[in-house]
Amino acid sequence: MASKPLWQKRIIHIDMDAFFAAIEQRDNPDLVGKPVIVGGAPDSRGVVATCSYEARKFGIHSAMSSAKAKRLCPNAIFVRSRISVYKEDSRKIMAILRQHTPLVSPVSLDEAYLNVTKHKLGIEDPVTIAKLIKQNIYAVTKLTASAGVAPNLFLAKVASDMNKPDGLTVVKPSEVSQFVSELPVRKIPGVGPVTEKQLKLLKIETCSDLVSKGEFFLTQRFGKTGRFLYARAQGIDYREVEPHSASKQYSTEETFSKDLLDLKTMQHELYLFSEEVFAGLTKKKRMGKTIVLKVKYHDFEVITRSKTLSKFPRSAEEVFKISCDLLVRKTKAGKKPVRLLGLGISNLEDLKEDKSYQERDLFEGIL
Ligand code: TTP
Ligand code: MG
């Protein structure tokens, strides 16, 4: 087949459309065609988990406060999350993906990467495979998915987002340069509003602008991130689809019924979170060296602060101490009211595969 040498690596990224909201519309025909918001009630302090495409026309999006969403669209129908139902659909979707290749890496409930370079049934054309997957998913769940087909994970992810809902976007190896050239920097996963703003000050708006600045300039300015941006801007991504990296972070968070100003109360919350996260991971026989603290202030500014240790944390107390240190030294907690606190451990690894940890565990009798 002529296309074979071109497609050295065939990656598909699948992302379900308006996942939670689409499930609610599927399960309740009265909601079809209407602005549906899944998440907290509008008279609570909750937020929008997601909303139907009909609601998005009003400017509503994930993480917006439900109260604001209600102001933007007074006729919107608010529905509470039914996580167990969404998890069951997710399980079915991931099982469908694994019918095509064992190399499936779920990123969240509704999103996964597949490496289909060697397809289980020998299908060579990745576009045919993506079409089949979308059909399979619809047949089983009655939900639509968007797919991106590309020679690497980055390009596949950007592509899947381009023609939502029910999209299928292909970036052939020969089209990579053209595809990235006019791509806004904000489309690079990892570039948020802050980085976007910094880049804009330097007159960098597209991937072409990044490339023309050169690697030296970008690394001088942004360190490791500069190198990362320079690679992505050329469409380069050497990451592999790792089937076991289902969850890279284990975390918990809470939106408080009243904003917190008192550090002691926040530390108490972090103590409970540390116990939950450490015990949860220990039970799963997984652990990570990066402790991540998330703070959302009363004005909805969200920050994350993290610390990476040289060894796995040994106890919930250790996680607690690090999170308190981050809270006190790296956030405005105590000075600015806090609406939400979250704590996670990331860069997770299987403990079974890490001998040093097992040895230390046995020695210290942790598990
Ligand atoms: P997304 O894939 O980001 O969003 P989506 O599937 O609703 O819409 P899109 O068509 O743009 O892909 O997230 C998947 C689900 O994760 C989403 O349905 C709800 C949940 N979610 C939250 O609960 N909170 C959030 O902030 C986000 C972004 C998603
Ligand atoms: Mg989605």
For the stretch 38-88, pLDDT in tens is 999 999 889 999 999 999 999 999 999 999 999 999 999 999 999 999 999
How far, in Å, from the CA of 17 to the mean position of ligand 2? 5
Amino acid at 205: E
Q: Is the CB of 164 under 6 A from ligand 1?
A: yes
Confidence of residue 279 (pLDDT cuts 50, 70, 90): very high
Chain segment 200-218, per-residue pLDDT in tens = 999 999 999 999 999 999 9
- Residue 367 CA to residue 363 CA, distance in Å, equals 10
Chain segment 312-350, per-residue pLDDT in tens = 999 999 999 999 999 999 999 999 999 999 999 998 888
Chain segment 121-179, per-residue pLDDT in tens = 999 999 999 999 999 999 999 999 999 999 999 999 999 999 999 999 999 999 999 99
> What confidence score (pLDDT) does residue 233 get?
98
Q: Is the CB of 12 under 6 A from ligand 1?
A: no
Percent of the chain with pLDDT over 90: 83
Most informative mutation of 19, 80, 146 for ligand 1 (most atoms within 8 A of CB): 19
Place of tokens 């639509």: 144
Q: Is the CB of 49 under 6 A from ligand 1?
A: yes
- Which of 13, 95, 84, 25 is CA-nearest to residue 54? 25
The residues whose Cβ lies within 5 A of ligand 2, an ion, are: 15-16, 19, 110
Position 245 pLDDT exceeds 60: no
> What confidence score (pLDDT) does residue 6 get?
76
First to last CA, the chain: 53
- Residue 279 CA to residue 282 CA, distance in Å, equals 5
Output the residue whose Cα is nearest ligand 1's atom 21.
Answer: 49
> Per residue, what are the HEC states of 272-329?
HHHHHHHHHHHHCCEECCEEEEEEEECCCCEEEEEEECCCCCCCHHHHHHHHHHHHHH
How many Cβ atoms from other residues are within 10 Å of residue 4's Cβ? 9
Counting ligands in written order, the one closest to the CA of 109 is 1
Laid out side by side, the sheet with 249-260 consists of 249-260, 338-346, 290-297, 302-308
- Which of 195, 151, 200 is CA-nearest to residue 177? 151
**111 is annotated as an active-site residue:** yes
